[in-house]
Amino acid sequence: MKNYQIKHSDLDGWLEKIIAAGRRVIAPVTEEGHTDFRPIHSPAEVAADDQVQTIQSAKQAAFPKAETLFSYRKEGTAVSLDQPAPESYLQTVVWRARPCDAAGFTPLSAIFNWDYKDNLYNARLARTTLVAFSCQQADAYCFCTSVGGGPGEKKGCDILVTKLPSGKALVEVCTEKGEALAALAPGLFSEANAVADDSPLFAEKQSALAQLPARFSKEDIRRHLAEAFDSPVWREQSERCLGCGACAFVCPTCACFDIQEDPHGSHGRRIRCWDSCAFALFTQHTSGHNPRPSQATRWRQRILHKFSYMPERLDATGCTGCGRCSRACPVDMNLLEHLTSIAQK
């Protein structure tokens, strides 16, 4: 794929073209001091590029918090079913995602396709183009480099934009979807060389990135977790956990969901919606028996699932180190801190 350069000042012009092309654009928007992905209709709505993270991840583009699986209609004793049309899923651009957002789609795709193919997710993802911007700053919650990512990592991106100190931005196009997006504003881009490890452009890109030394490795964690099932650490770490779903819902890789009914008399829809393994009722049987009866067992499931079971079964880690869960946690459960302590055990 090609690389381009674009002036910082032309980025808005490019975004305008994208909007004008009829795409639904989701971008960071700041309201009341908090920045989150929102649909926008003009570049002016986009938040200033000085924040580390949006509250939520970009996963909602392909895995919305609620979506229709199919609809039904009952007439007398008969039932007819209707499926969503993929064309009804809007062509979506996620503007100024972060590399850790992009990285999240790899484990998500693994979950949705490791066995049965989840074509609803796939159809939405196929209509989603991720324009990620390299991170120029990181905060105390970030740890992408410890789980195999990085502030300028291209994996999962359709386009990665890195604002260089020169006033130009490096635009690395990674997919054809990305190429199509760049093609919307040919006049704004100049071609750039491939970014090889020893090229000056690489050095320039590196210099523009946030510095975030790795604190541990995925492998460390996985090794420790293999023996940790009965460890007291789960109870210790989860004591203050309130059992809400904030961590799961802001997480770029959490994919647990519920299937529910939306009846409107004789017709209705079946809905898929986000769910969380932190909820007490998530696994509870109708009989009242609960395989994961305490918050400690649920916290253990969350960590083991992401860092042990998923790597083993899906060859993917369920964490991109974005730190959103820690920022969102009402009681300051800090994932980086907890993982570090596990890795140091």
Partner 1 sequence: MDENKAAFEPRIIAFVCNWCTYAGADLTGTSRIKYATNVEIVRFPCTGRIDFMLLLKAFAAGADGIIVSGCHPNDCHYTSGNFHARRRWIVFRGLLDFLGIDVRRIHYYWVSAAEGAKWAEVVNQTVAEIRELGPYTEYKKVANYIEETEAAHE
Partner 2 sequence: MDRLIDNPYLPYVMTVERITQEAPGVKTLRLRFKNPEEAENFQFRAGQFAEYSAFGEGECTFCIASPPTRKGYVECTFRQAGRVTSGLSRLEEGQEMGFRGPFGNTFPIEEWKGKNLLFVAGGIALPPMRCVIWNVLDRRKEFGNVTIIYGAKSVADLVYKDELKEWDERPDVQLYTTVDPGGETPDWKGKVGFTPAVLEQVAPSAENTVAIVCGPPVMIKFSFPVLEKLGFRDDAIFTTLENRMKCGIGKCGRCNVGKLYVCKDGPVFTKAQLNGLPPEY
Partner 3 sequence: MSKIGVFICHCGENISATVDCARVAQAAAEMEGVAYATDYKYMCSEPGQQLIRQAIREHNLDGVVVGSCSPRMHEPTFRRACAEAGLNPYLCEIANLREHCSWVHEKGEATTQKAIDIVQGLVEKVRRNQPLTPIRVPVTKKALVIGGGIAGIQAALDIANCGHRVILVEKEPSIGGHMAQLSETFPTLDCSQCILTPRMVEVAQHPNITLYTYAEVESVEGFIGNFKATIRLKAKSVDEKKCTGCGLCTTKCPNKKIPGEFNEGLGTRTAIYVPFPQAVPNKPVIDKEHCNYYQKGKCRVCEKFCPTGAITFDQPDQFITEEVGAIVVTTGFRVLPTSFFPEYGYGRYKDVITGIQFERLASASGPTMGEIRRPSDGTVPKKVVFIACCGSRDPAKGIPYCSKICCMYTAKHAMLYQHKVHDGESTVFYMDIRAGGKNYEEFVRRAIEEDKVNYVRGRVARVYERADGKLVVRGVDTLLGAQQVEIEADMVVLATAGVANPGAEELAQKLHISYDPYHFFAEAHPKLRPVETNTAGIYLAGACQAPKDIPETVATASGAAAKVVSLLSQDDLVREPLVAVVNRCAPPVYSTCVGCFLCQTACPYQAIEREEIKDRQGRVIKTVAKVNPGLCQGCGTCVSFCRSKAIDIQGYSNEQMYAEVNALLNHE
Where is 161: in which H helix or E strand?
A: strand 159-163
Residue 39 touches which of partner 3, partner 1, partner 2, none (Cβ within 5-8 Å per kind): partner 1
- What number of chain residues touch partner 2 (CB under 8 A)? 57
User: Closest distance between partner 1 and the C-beta of residue 81, in Å?
Assistant: 17
User: Closest distance between partner 3 and the C-beta of residue 117, in Å?
Assistant: 34
271 belongs to the binding site for partner 1 (CB under 8 A): yes
Cα 105 from Cα 174, distance rounded (Å): 14
Contact track, partner 1, 84-123, x by CB under 8 A: -----xx---------------------------------
31 belongs to the binding site for partner 2 (CB under 8 A): no
Helix (H, G, I), strand (E, B) or coil at 66: strand
Which single residue is written with the structure tokens 């054809």? 176
Orientation of helix 335-344 relative to helix 218-226, angle to 10°: 70
Question: Contacts for 28-32 with beta carbons within 8 Å, 24 or more apart?
Answer: 28/54, 28/95, 28/96
The binder of partner 3 chosen from 32, 115, 287, 332 (CB under 8 A): 287
Phi-psi region of 58 (alpha: psi -120 to 50; beta: other; left: phi over 0): alpha
Contact track, partner 2, 268-287, x by CB under 8 A: x-x-x--x-x----xxxxxx
200 belongs to the binding site for partner 2 (CB under 8 A): no
Backbone phi, then psi, for 154, in 5-degree steps?
-90, -15
Residue 90 touches which of partner 2, partner 3, partner 1, none (Cβ within 5-8 Å per kind): partner 1
User: Closest distance between partner 3 and the C-beta of residue 299, in Å?
Assistant: 20
Burial of 146 (0-12, 13-18, 19+ CB in 10 A): buried
Residues 61-80 that bind partner 3 (CB under 8 A): 74, 76-77
257 belongs to the binding site for partner 2 (CB under 8 A): yes
Cα 190 from Cα 201, distance rounded (Å): 14
Q: Which residues bind partner 3 (CB under 8 A)?
A: 74, 76-77, 265-266, 287-288, 293
